A = this chain, B = another copy of it.
Amino acid sequence: MTAYSKTLLQKFSDLALKVGLDLQPGQRLLILTTLDCAPLVQEVAACAYQMGARLVDVMWDDEELHTLRFQHAPPDSFHEYSTWRTSGILECLKRGDAYLRVYSLDPNLLQGYNPEHVAAYVQAEAQHVRPVYDYRAEAGIPWLVITFPAPGWAAAVFPDLPPERQMDALWESLVSLYHLEAPDPAEEWRRYLHKLTARAASLNQKRFAALKFTGPGTDLTVGLAPGHAWFGGWNPGRDGTFFVPNLPTEEVFTLPHRSRVEGTVRLTKPFVNPGILVEDVTFTFAEGRVVQAAAGKGEGLLQKVLDTDEGARRLGEVALVPNSSPISQSGRIFWNPLLDENASCHLALGNAYRITLSGGKGLPEEAFAAAGGNLSSLHIDFMVGSGELDIDGIAEDGTSEPVMRTGEWAFEV
């Protein structure tokens, strides 16, 4: 058993509630998590009550139950879904409760099961959570995803350590990435978030028409939607509050144009989605659509994911992260989208964020799509950054300027 220091758990809770969610007195808090995260969840609950939360609700999940399902459930049952979860989340969000996900996932959880079953499960999940994501974005509900160790995940990150050391090693990594040893991690993060916001503001001034990605195996032009807005750090919430949807966060991101992506991109890390691992992936785009997808491992599953819906083959996000970011410099693959996406420039297949289009909030689907925004039940990040990646910003008139060179920012803010 990892002996979690109460002081570090308290600092982590403080960071999540004050910086991440900007939790207000009198608000309720909904936490979605897995059984392994209980030590942090309990500390977060205590901290939230002390900040004036009227009720802390926790919706627990257990990875082991998913494994048992894939081992034993009837073959035609994998589209069945626990709809009470999504209807319950919506019920909480409609009251304005803050939404915290404390995330821990064994990346190999669903490895080796029938890909048809896994795909049916992934699609049912995507379809049912979509209204939650839509409502959350529309209503400006504060939400945050953070991550916490679990044995299966720790084993995947530190396969060379003896099992009894893996959890401690992962926790030490997280303590470092969250700056929990700092006297006041919340203050540390606030300073850093202001820098990200400044970076996004400077990109907004440039009004690029496209970004050109060049690197080993990669020659990709990603058109940006004309009204795109860059975000980094803070998101606007309700009543003048600001929240940070992911911690750690190292990215600035915006809206690619759903039909203006051309060329080939080689992923620099595996493609990880709920318990699915696909390695050595290359995508080729034409008119914004993935027309070819190859993988060294897990290609069958990848094709099923791409076939989820029309938008699953188009980009919904482009995000820039310098190669010198702390997560990247740790030199590890964490097999965890929250960490790995903040270690690397990345793109996402699937649904785009309305906030990345100026005036996009509340726009009907057709209008958002017409402005270049992609629609899908999925949103899956994939990593393209490395120390060998160059990015150029292309202006409307075709002139270009360096945005990144060998994975680092090429302009000052």
Binding site for B on A (CB under 8 A): 26, 28, 35, 38, 41-42, 45-46, 49-50, 52-60, 62, 64-65, 68-69, 71-74, 77, 80-85, 87-89, 91-92
Contacts and interface: CB of A to CB of B under 8 A. Distances in A.
| Total identical chains | 2
A42 B54 CA distance: 32
25 contacts: A28-B80, A35-B35, A35-B60, A38-B64, A41-B62, A42-B64, A42-B68, A45-B65, A53-B73, A54-B73, A54-B74, A54-B80, A55-B69, A55-B73, A55-B81, A56-B69, A57-B82, A57-B84, A59-B84, A60-B62, A84-B88, A84-B91, A87-B87, A87-B88, A88-B88
Contact of A83 (B50, B73, B74, B91): B91
Nearest to A50: B72
Main secondary structure of the interface of A (DSSP, over half): helix
Given A46-B68, A84-B87, 4 more contacts: A42-B64, A46-B71, A53-B73, A55-B69
Nearest to A88: B84
B49 A56 contact: no
A62 B41 CA distance: 10
A99 to B, nearest CB: 13
Contacts of A65: 41-42, 45, 56, 58
A371 B346 CA distance: 70
Closest 8 CB pairs of A and B: A84-B88, A49-B72, A60-B60, A54-B77, A55-B80, A49-B73, A46-B68, A57-B82
B62 A58 contact: yes
A55 B68 CA distance: 11
A91 B85 CA distance: 11
A406 B198 CA distance: 83
A168 to B, nearest CB: 18
Contacts of A55: 69, 73, 77, 80-82
A14 to B, nearest CB: 14
A85 B85 CA distance: 9
Given A73-B54, A83-B91, A49 B68 contact: yes
B84 A84 contact: yes
B68 A45 contact: yes
Nearest to A51: B72
Interface centre among A42, A52, A84, A85 (most CB of B within 10 A): A84
A84 B42 CA distance: 20
A3 to B, nearest CB: 15
A100 to B, nearest CB: 14
A41 B28 CA distance: 29
Nearest to A72: B49
A72 B46 contact: yes
Nearest to A47: B72
A56 B45 CA distance: 27
Nearest to A81: B55
A145 B56 CA distance: 26
A88 B45 CA distance: 22
Contacts of A57: 82, 84
Nearest to A91: B84
Contacts of A50: 72
Contacts of A73: 49, 53-55
A91 B41 CA distance: 27
Contacts of A69: 45, 49, 55-56
A17 to B, nearest CB: 13
A77 B56 CA distance: 11
B92 A84 contact: yes
Contacts of A92: 84
Contacts of A82: 55, 57
Contacts of A26: 74
A73 B74 CA distance: 44
